[in-house]
A and B are shown apart, each in its own frame.
Chain A
């Protein structure tokens, strides 16, 4: 197996568009969650979201192309362009059929589909746009990244709900490490803020109540008074290339993927399983060839739902035993919201940036201690010097797909 370097990052997120901007916001705990203003948002019990400031015209989509692109695809294409630019030439001198695209998305073109259903059922009209299938299909974001860059290798879309983009990065890592391909554009994209989607999440009783004092503080991972998650949108894409290639072209190496664990609960469609989550962490450690004592810090899945945070805490204790209380654990969804199929990729990037800057990122809005969530969550204030050099980043999903990535900083 070849070592695999991360040599490019591209972001389109509620926290900002550059790695500096996103890291500074995460470090300072500035929440991007705010009251949501969309058509019919008054029909939502708690209209909240973390949205992206995004101008499609400024993103250089000309009208003939733009008409085919759902918001999720626009995010994905722009994030991929940024990652490729950031890599300073990773695509040069590589056959395009040796470059793969691996993208996670949970709900893909749900905004376009929602528009179509509004026409069909709301307006009782049969005038569905001829482009709707192409906008709404799950593989559109990955396909457009391929088209935008002429990439003719494998082009795969993973849809395992909230672990989708961690799966995408993990599967890309396996292929680059094994030599099947020589470069991967990998990550996730999500744009789920359509009324139909929001109402469906609301109906599951998974969404947070609005914090009465500050809506931006509504998501409270690991806090006793947590009430659920807040949906977010955006995309995060990384470039993965063989370490040898990256070194030989003098690329800036941002970090290294060293392991990937993937397990499935196969028990309940929605209830998280601490055993399944722990198994995924152990699988990631085994894949990296390291023991639990090698992990310096963790980026938690940390959704802020009652069930997840208890299960994840139990899973971390199961894997790390007495050391569990000593490991800094960061849950950044408190400020960027839950990006569903893009969450794993964004948190992977945040973990990477945290290690680069040697800071354990804060878990914001942790106001009340919970006896079932009693680990070190880096409550409310960033902790300089605490990230260490080796991290796990957890992504768990409805459907029971648990994906954990192990990464090492470039300072190792």
Chain B
């Protein structure tokens, strides 16, 4: 399932959002997701996607912003958890 589909499923289940409204341009406030709702959505996304999102203020205005942000975090955390090839020869041998 894509990131978009998984987040749609969460919004429908937790916030009773009509999935028809969930276009990339849909403003979160217009679909009933206020600032607390965004914080809660991100909290639930951490569980759903197994992510640890940074505790920093975010400017996520639309549904598309959320999907892009989550996809970006997935890639970033995959990269940071993958074994590094570069420089491995310099690691001290325990």
Give A contacts to B, CB under 8 Å: 62-64, 67-68, 127, 129-131, 134
18 A/B residue pairs, CB under 8 Å, sorted by A: A63-B13, A63-B14, A64-B14, A64-B15, A64-B16, A64-B32, A64-B37, A67-B14, A67-B40, A127-B43, A129-B40, A129-B43, A130-B36, A130-B42, A130-B43, A131-B36, A131-B40, A134-B36
How many chain B residues sit at the interface, stated as a range, is 10 to 19
- A128 to B, closest residue via Cβ: B43
Interface string of B39-58 (1 = CB under 8 A from A): 11011001000000000000
In the assembly, what is the distance between CA of A191 and CA of B36, in Å?
24
Contacts of A68 in B (CB 8 A): 36
Q: B85 to nearest A CB, angstroms?
A: 32
A62 touches which of B16, B39, B43 (Cβ 8 Å): B16
Contacts of B43 in A (CB 8 A): 127, 129-130
CB pair B40 A130 closer than 8 Å: yes
In the assembly, what is the distance between CA of A63 and CA of B44, in Å?
15
Contacts of B15 in A (CB 8 A): 63-64
- The residue in A63, A64, A67, A68 that gathers the most chain B C-beta atoms within 10 A of its C-beta is A64
Contacts of A134 in B (CB 8 A): 36
B39 touches which of A63, A64, A130 (Cβ 8 Å): A130
Contacts of A62 in B (CB 8 A): 16
Query: Which B residues, 27 to 84, have Cβ-Cβ distances below 8 Å to chain A?
Result: 32, 36-37, 39-40, 42-43, 46
Contacts of B37 in A (CB 8 A): 64
In the assembly, what is the distance between CA of A144 and CA of B69, in Å?
33
In the assembly, what is the distance between CA of A130 and CA of B15, in Å?
15
In the assembly, what is the distance between CA of A68 and CA of B40, in Å?
10
Contacts of B46 in A (CB 8 A): 127
In the assembly, what is the distance between CA of A130 and CA of B36, in Å?
7
Contacts of A67 in B (CB 8 A): 14, 40
Contacts of B16 in A (CB 8 A): 62-64
Q: A145 to nearest B CB, angstroms?
A: 19
In the assembly, what is the distance between CA of A129 and CA of B39, in Å?
9
- B47 to A, closest residue via Cβ: A127
- A65 to B, closest residue via Cβ: B16
Interface string of B7-36 (1 = CB under 8 A from A): 000000111100000000000000010001
Given contacts A64-B37, A130-B36, A130-B42, 11 further A-B contacts (CB under 8 A): A63-B13, A63-B14, A64-B14, A67-B14, A68-B36, A129-B43, A130-B39, A130-B40, A130-B43, A131-B36, A134-B36
**Closest 3 pairs between A and B when the two form their complex, measured CB to CB:** A130-B39, A130-B40, A64-B15
In the assembly, what is the distance between CA of A4 and CA of B43, in Å?
48
In the assembly, what is the distance between CA of A67 and CA of B32, in Å?
14
Q: A64 to nearest B CB, angstroms?
A: 5
Q: B91 to nearest A CB, angstroms?
A: 30
In the assembly, what is the distance between CA of A129 and CA of B46, in Å?
12
- The residue in B16, B32, B42, B46 that gathers the most chain A C-beta atoms within 10 A of its C-beta is B16
Q: A160 to nearest B CB, angstroms?
A: 29
- A130 to B, closest residue via Cβ: B39
In the assembly, what is the distance between CA of A134 and CA of B37, in Å?
12
Q: B16 to nearest A CB, angstroms?
A: 6
- B42 to A, closest residue via Cβ: A130
Contacts of A131 in B (CB 8 A): 36, 40
- B17 to A, closest residue via Cβ: A64
In the assembly, what is the distance between CA of A127 and CA of B47, in Å?
10
In the assembly, what is the distance between CA of A305 and CA of B35, in Å?
46
Contacts of B40 in A (CB 8 A): 67, 129-131
Contacts of B32 in A (CB 8 A): 64
In the assembly, what is the distance between CA of A64 and CA of B12, in Å?
10
Q: A144 to nearest B CB, angstroms?
A: 14
Q: A345 to nearest B CB, angstroms?
A: 30
In the assembly, what is the distance between CA of A130 and CA of B40, in Å?
6
- B14 to A, closest residue via Cβ: A63
